[in-house]
Structure 1
């Protein structure tokens, strides 16, 4: 799942609550943002494991936040 946060100052605390709530399906989390100016935007990549419905529920909850957009895909190798 790739997540773009457009205003970290506003939605980061709510986003963190959701990540904690769904922590059992998150295997890896990678956060990327500019540190020189402490940018408002950020990109987060999650490696998820679990049932499709649990992953979809997480994505829908994240997308309910005002300045956050999540997209997910399933890679079967």
Structure 2
């Protein structure tokens, strides 16, 4: 299957409690992640993370599904185009 570039937007409610589980999922997909950006603000209970990954579509959708399986976490995938050469 063809690989593409995907951006996964992640919104984490009550990040102090759910953050470690989110991190665990991201670690499992680490080999496909090109970059990760988070907004660390200890005064806010919500967290925002964006992940750019190079993978097959199925892998990006699996990442989003696993994240959405965590209480208080929402994730959406955007396909930007073909994989980097």
Give the aligned CA root-mean-square deviation in angstroms: 1.3
Runs of 4+ in 1 over 4 A off after TM superposition: none
Structure with bigger RCO (C-alpha 8 Å, 6+ apart): 2
Query: Do residues 6 (structure 1) and 3 (structure 2) align?
Result: no
- Which structure carries more strand by proportion? 2
Residue ranges of structure 1 left out of the alignment (5+ in a row): none
The answer to whether the 8 A contact 1:33-1:41 is kept is: no
Aligned residue pair count: 75
* TM norm structure 2: 0.82
Residue ranges of structure 2 left out of the alignment (5+ in a row): 1-7
Query: Do residues 17 (structure 1) and 24 (structure 2) align?
Result: yes
